[in-house]
Amino acid sequence: MLCFLMLWACRQEAQPDDQGKPDGGEADGGAVVETDTGTPVEEQTEEEEEGSPYILDREDEDSPLHSLEEVEASLVEVFAAVKRVDPMTLTAAYEGLRTSLGDSACPYYYTDADGETYYGYHYWFGGCSAGTGAAFSGYGYSFYYEPYVSGSTIYDDYSYTQLFGSITDRFGSELEMSGYAYHYTAGTQGNPDRTGYAYIQGDARWSDPQAEGSWLAEDLSVDLVWSWSYDADVEQGTGLSLSGAISGVPGSMNTALFESVYIYASDAGSACAQEPSGTISVRDAAGEWNEVEFQGPPWAGAPIFQPHCDGCGTVSWRGQQLGTICPEFEPLLDWETRPWD
């Protein structure tokens, strides 16, 4: 008890007379206060407490960053990219590597009772090195038929590829994928007309020289769905539907979003000369979107208000209409049998 009283008395003698301020008064930058432990600290000024804003206003935030000409040019790049992204390219690359680089032990395949496939799929899993010098990693799940006949229907191509992993040959060329791809082109036996459906979702890259010039050598991310029709009498694509998104497209606006886009050829009866329905939006690296709305027929044979049938779309930015653009839609219909032919 005596020790406690002596310590308390010493503390009282050490208290300064000027309400807790040590000799010298206020320190630069603000008042000095004493904490519960007796340690003097600086008190923040009002200016310091406010700090700086997290978001800095852009002087031109009320003005679009891209001109109508730039938006139109970006659509040309987008249409060209969509034309390049052929799921058959991925199917051929994957099936070629899977069948030529593996051996009896690598990769390990799961099979059903027939001992050949896993309910019609080629399903492998795990990491291994084959006697060919190739390496398999992850898992793959696929089927591929060309052609395939079911009753009166003939499929020119019919394939599904799922790969979350990679296949690397002995020279170091690697096919790497994280996603899915599916496609078919079908018709009636004896009839050259065709319909088809396809989707790609994910990323795929192939570093082999064989990939040069194809979309597998580009830095693209794809999440697109196609459906189409081909009329042999017209000798071109007659209808194409597109939905989804693609990014990594060359140019200043490198991402595009397709919403309910459908285009129907005038030679096949469309009331509009190559104008789609739906909305195509493009985005730049800063995240700024420009939406382009088109008013062509939304399905084959659909009626259309003729004044809207001008081959042009209305560009909007942040809800403001900026004007119209009239891009060339020929790449979307200039094909035979499949949109990539």
186-228 pLDDT, tens digit each? 999 999 999 999 999 999 999 999 999 999 999 999 999 999 9
Distance CA 274, CA 314 (A): 15
Do 214 and 298 lie in a common domain?
Answer: no
Structural domain includes residue 311: yes
| Burial (CB count <10 Å: 0-12, 13-18, 19+), residue 54 | exposed
Do 139 and 261 lie in a common domain?
Answer: no
Reported as a pLDDT band with limits 50, 70 and 90, residue 51 is low
Report, as an integer, the average pLDDT of 161-187. Answer: 97
Q: Greater confidence, 42 or 255?
A: 255
Structural domain includes residue 1: no
State yes or no: pLDDT of 254 exceeds 90: yes
Task: Give the model's pLDDT for residue 109.
Answer: 96
b (16+ CB within 10 A) / e for 118-154: eeebbbbeeebbbeeebbbbbbbbbbbeeebeeeeeb
Do 300 and 190 lie in a common domain?
Answer: no
b (16+ CB within 10 A) / e for 161-190: bbbebbbbbeeebbbbbbbbbbbbbbbeee
Write the CB contacts of 216 (distance below 8 Å, at least 6 apart in sequence): 89, 90, 93, 175, 204, 205, 206
Reported as a pLDDT band with limits 50, 70 and 90, residue 38 is low
What are the pLDDT digits (tens) for 310-322?
A: 889 999 999 999 9
Do 209 and 238 lie in a common domain?
Answer: no
Distance CA 251, CA 82 (A): 14
Task: Give the model's pLDDT for residue 88.
Answer: 96
65-79, 85-99, 276-290, 326-340: which range is least confident on average? 326-340
Do 271 and 184 lie in a common domain?
Answer: no
Reported as a pLDDT band with limits 50, 70 and 90, residue 27 is very low
Neighbouring C-alpha atoms within 13 Å toward the C-beta of 200: 22
Report, as an integer, the average pLDDT of 170-189. Answer: 97
Reported as a pLDDT band with limits 50, 70 and 90, residue 339 is very high
Do 211 and 290 lie in a common domain?
Answer: no
60-74, 99-113, 213-227: which range is least confident on average? 60-74
State yes or no: pLDDT of 73 exceeds 70: yes
Structural domain includes residue 29: no
End of a domain among 169, 184, 219?
219
Task: Give the model's pLDDT for residue 256.
Answer: 98
Domain range holding 310? Answer: 66-76+230-341
User: How many domains, in total, are found in the chain?
Assistant: 2
Q: What is the largest CA-CA distance in the chain?
A: 113
Q: What is the SS3 assignment for 92?
A: helix
Specify the DSSP class assigned to residue 19: T
Reported as a pLDDT band with limits 50, 70 and 90, residue 159 is very high
End of a domain among 163, 185, 219?
219
Report, as an integer, the average pLDDT of 30-56. Answer: 53
Location of structure tokens 């994928």: 177
Task: Give the model's pLDDT for residue 69.
Answer: 96
Task: Give the model's pLDDT for residue 204.
Answer: 98
Do 210 and 302 lie in a common domain?
Answer: no
Task: Give the model's pLDDT for residue 331.
Answer: 83
Do 105 and 72 lie in a common domain?
Answer: no
Structural domain includes residue 253: yes
Do 90 and 215 lie in a common domain?
Answer: yes
Reported as a pLDDT band with limits 50, 70 and 90, residue 168 is very high
Residue 90 near residue 181 (C-beta atoms within 8 A) = yes
End of a domain among 219, 240, 256?
219
pTM of the model: 0.79
| Burial (CB count <10 Å: 0-12, 13-18, 19+), residue 253 | buried
Specify the DSSP class assigned to residue 21: P
Residue 221 near residue 205 (C-beta atoms within 8 A) = no
Reported as a pLDDT band with limits 50, 70 and 90, residue 330 is confident
Task: Give the model's pLDDT for residue 22.
Answer: 42
Provide the mean pLDDT of the chain. Answer: 86
Distance CA 149, CA 299 (A): 29
Report, as an integer, the average pLDDT of 54-59. Answer: 51
Do 214 and 91 lie in a common domain?
Answer: yes
Residue 148 near residue 156 (C-beta atoms within 8 A) = no
Taking the mean position of all CA atoms in its chain, how far away is CA 218?
A: 13
Task: Give the model's pLDDT for residue 277.
Answer: 94
Structural domain includes residue 131: yes
Task: Give the model's pLDDT for residue 235.
Answer: 80
